[in-house]
Amino acid sequence: MTMKINIFSIWLLSLTISICAIILIGGYTRISDSGLSITEWLPISGVMYPFSETQWQIEFSKYQKIDEFMLVNSAMTLDEFKVIYFWEWFHRFFARLIGMLYLIPLIYLLIKNKIQKNYFIRILSIGFLLGVQAVIGWYMVRSGLVGRVDVSQYRLAMHLTMAFIILGITFQTFLAANMKHLYNKNSYYKKNNEFFFFSLLLFIFFQIAYGAFVSGTHSGLLFNTWPMYNGNIFPLIENNSLKGIINFFEQGEYIIFVHRTFALFILLMVIYVNYDFLRKKNDIKKNYLLLVFNISFISQILLGVLMTFQNIPWYLALAHQGNAIILFLVSVIMWMLSKKSLQSNFT
């Protein structure tokens, strides 16, 4: 596949890579329990990193007033606090960098008339959603400052979902700007497959978003067995006072069951894609895109299983999230190929 790379495309690709990076940074910030270390939202002055001992003592004293410190980390030293503070500060700093990476090149591209009119709405939507994401980030942090020792799983899911929406729009715009010149000939990703590949993309998107509830409620720690739930086909729930659909967002046993079960539905879709591809006598060795997708999907399952058995170590959890990004982006490419009916070297 050949693409016409220009300054507009380089900008979109840079944004895409940066958004992928901040999702991983945010993931580690969450895994390391660093997210509540900064208790104020200061969009301008918050960019400054504390260096003096006096500044560190001020920041530490603010953290010592919240429930997470008093109930969980009361024995934390100042040096330990500096570690978790760095990751939350770096997460916010990188978010500001993305804002600048969006705004400054945008002004230049508008002045130079380098953006086609049919992309204006999507480009402006990216900027608007980046601003909304900043507000959601603080809204999420606030939920963990008073009355609890962790952020709300609902707000965490909102934050992660918005990140992938922004990523999807940015990457889809990049693809649209660079693949429209290609011609489709005997491509497997034909228009009659568009609905299926779009459905696959939505399923993967839902699984990623729902994963925030697994993380936010620590549901993954409930069972260290797979595929059974401590010897049972279904997780046992005792003394449950919750009723109705709310169980699927607050009850850990429900959440982990849905997350694992939904993965099986996606597996069936992946099996069908490969069956349909081979049934049409295509050579999978030449279809690099489907090959990458298969490898990533199998890796995602293996990572999930290993996390279960090993009580979710941080490096496997981060690899799981990073691999989810790859699956999501490849799904976007497959959907775009079927949507645009383009010829590429993927087939």
pLDDT in tens, 277-325: 888 777 666 688 899 999 999 999 999 999 999 999 999 999 999 999 9
Amino acid at 18: S
Which pair of tokens denotes residue 164? 């992938």
pLDDT score for 179: 78
Residue 334 tokens read as 């497959």
Say what the pTM is.
0.92
H/E stretch holding 272: helix 252-279
111: enclosing H helix or E strand: helix 78-111
pLDDT band of 189, cuts 50, 70, 90: low
Here the contacts of 285-290 (C-beta below 8 Å, separation 24 or greater) are 286/347, 287/188, 287/346, 287/347, 288/345, 288/346, 289/330, 289/333, 289/334, 289/337, 289/344, 289/346, 290/188, 290/334, 290/346
74: number of Cβ within 10 Å: 9
CA distance readout (Å), 222 to 98, 210, 229: 36, 17, 9
Cα radius of gyration rounded to whole Å, the chain: 22
* Owner of token pair 């401590």: 230
Q: Give residue-wise pLDDT tens across range 104-122.
A: 999 999 999 999 999 999 9
Instruction: Read off the pLDDT of each residue in 183-193 and give the average, rounded to a whole number.
Output: 59
What confidence score (pLDDT) does residue 277 get? 84
Domain chopping of the chain, boundaries:
1-151, 182-347
- The amino acid at residue 32 is S
Whether the pLDDT of residue 220 is over 70: the answer is yes
Q: Residue 346's pLDDT band (boundaries 50, 70, 90)?
A: very low
